[in-house]
Copies of this chain bind each other. A is one copy, B any other.
Amino acid sequence: MACWQQTNIEIHTSGRSTVELSAQVNNVIAQSGIDQGLAHIFLKHTSASLMLCENADPTVLTDMETIMQRLAPDGDPEYQHDYEGDDDMAAHVRSVLTSNDITLPISQGRLNLGTWQGVFLYEHRYRPHRRQLVVTLNGQ
């Protein structure tokens, strides 16, 4: 029998950095009773994003930040949109280059991720924020 569940999650970030969400999403799946299906994670913001990334060595996330700063520079002189500071437009570009919606397989009642895969919330603003997620589960 098909089953739907939608859950809101709030994450408090500490400014530009990553927060791994895998355990929290697995808890929502466990409570749903869904054994096989899909977990859709959606972040309701345009200056933070979601990212699937290696979760074993913290220097991977450091290096990802190095590259993001090159691709979407803070305070670029060509930006017109800078109301909220040097990180404002850079955050929007980073969000577009990563993702705001990720869908992951559920198998045997858990996220079916690779051994070194984690799903992260990536805060792109300098200052701490409260970020809203909608987790939609669908399965049997």
Contact = CB atoms under 8 A, between A and B. Distances in A.
Interface of A: 2, 4, 6, 36-38, 40, 42-47, 51-54, 57, 59-60, 62-64, 66-67, 71-72, 78-81, 83, 89, 92-93, 95-105, 107, 112-117, 132, 134, 136, 138-140
B136 A105 contact: yes
A49 B98 CA distance: 13
Q: Taking chain A's interface residues, is the majority helix, strand, or loop, or is none over half, making it mixed?
A: mixed
A46 B116 contact: yes
Given A4-B140, A64-B96, A89-B60, A113 B44 contact: yes
B46 A63 contact: no
A36 B137 CA distance: 11
